[in-house]
């Protein structure tokens, strides 16, 4: 059986996390060799290739890809892979969205992986509208890929908690972007289109989160939100063997989420 262990993590700045201890005695650049994921997807990297040191971009045993935003120090996604993908594509929705460096798509023989940093809608009505338009464009894209018979997994910071069990204080956040009915309804549409929240294939309870507010020290109290996901479509679901949340890994206001795939 061929196994793929995938990690997805919003690092809130790849340069900021570079020197941090993410596990006891383990700095961020050492995490790959320590954990040995086959693929590590990063979001909110806030950097381009010119601003990154070799200890970040040239980790032995891994290929490195990055899609920066045109705006310096903003957004961006990156990916480390043990196996060289058969193809890599950055962006792919429209010029309106692609300038923010929010997608890397990697194709492997067994599946196609999309690493996505979905927009945050909390700053203004304009940004909420941008987020919802991004959501719609992305759903249209993955539905077309699904219709073509692709095995699809997409991951990243979706910036929305789906159900009340996905955040510690649902009542207090009903009118906050990230838990608005219109945002949550989009996840319902993703599921209706034949995609599965991989974490919920294994865990039905609440209390497990992937983001905590820095300012209120929410992580110490586990007052968090589950807004980071791996979604798989029906064609890939039979190959999912495990999913999880690595809330023991520090260094960002998010923690990594994981997915394991196994192929005969």
CB 96 within 8 A of CB 113: no
Sequence-distant (6+) residues with CB within 8 A of 46 are 12, 13, 14, 15, 16, 73, 74, 75, 76
Q: Residue 167, class by beta-carbon neighbours within 10 Å (0-12 exposed, 13-18 middle, 19+ buried)? A: buried
Q: At what angle do helices 181-192 and 125-147 cross, to 10 degrees?
A: 0
CA-to-CA separations, 29 to 14, 16, 105, 164, in angstroms, rounded: 10, 12, 23, 35
CB 77 within 8 A of CB 156: yes
Strand partners, 117: 157
Q: Which residue from 136, 96, 138 is spatially nearest to 117, judged by alpha carbons?
A: 138
Count CA atoms within 13 Å of residue 152 on its CB side: 25
Residue count of the chain: 264
Rounded (5°) CA angle 251-252-253 = 140
Q: Which residues are catalytic?
A: 157
Backbone angles phi, psi at 57, to 5 degrees: -90, -15
């Amino acid at each position: 059986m061929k196994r793929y262990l995938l990690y997805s993590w919003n690092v809130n700045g790849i340069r900021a996390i570079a020197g941090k201890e993410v596990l006891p005695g383990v700095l961020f650049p050492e995490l790959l060799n320590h954990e040995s994921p086959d693929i590590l997807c990063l979001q909110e990297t806030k950097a381009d290739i010119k601003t990154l040191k070799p200890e970040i971009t040239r980790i032995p045993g891994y290929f490195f890809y990055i899609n920066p935003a045109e705006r310096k120090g903003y957004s961006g996604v990156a990916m480390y892979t043990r196996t060289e993908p058969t193809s890599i594509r950055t962006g792919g929705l429209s010029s309106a969205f692609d300038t923010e460096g929010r997608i890397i798509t990697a194709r492997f023989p067994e599946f196609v992986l999309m690493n996505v940093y979905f927009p945050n809608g909390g700053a203004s009505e304009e940004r909420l509208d941008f987020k919802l338009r991004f959501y719609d464009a992305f759903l249209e894209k993955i539905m077309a890929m699904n219709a073509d018979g692709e095995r699809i997994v997409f991951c990243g910071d979706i910036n929305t908690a789906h159900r009340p069990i996905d955040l510690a204080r649902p009542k207090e956040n009903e009118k906050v972007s990230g838990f608005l009915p219109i945002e949550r309804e989009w996840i319902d549409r993703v599921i209706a289109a034949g995609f599965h929240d991989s974490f919920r294939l294994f865990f039905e309870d609440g209390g497990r989160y992937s983001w905590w507010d820095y300012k209120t020290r929410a992580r110490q109290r586990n007052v968090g939100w589950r807004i980071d996901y791996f979604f798989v479509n029906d064609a890939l679901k039979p190959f999912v063997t495990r999913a999880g949340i690595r809330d023991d890994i520090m260094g960002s206001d998010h923690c990594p989420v994981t997915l394991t795939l196994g192929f005969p």
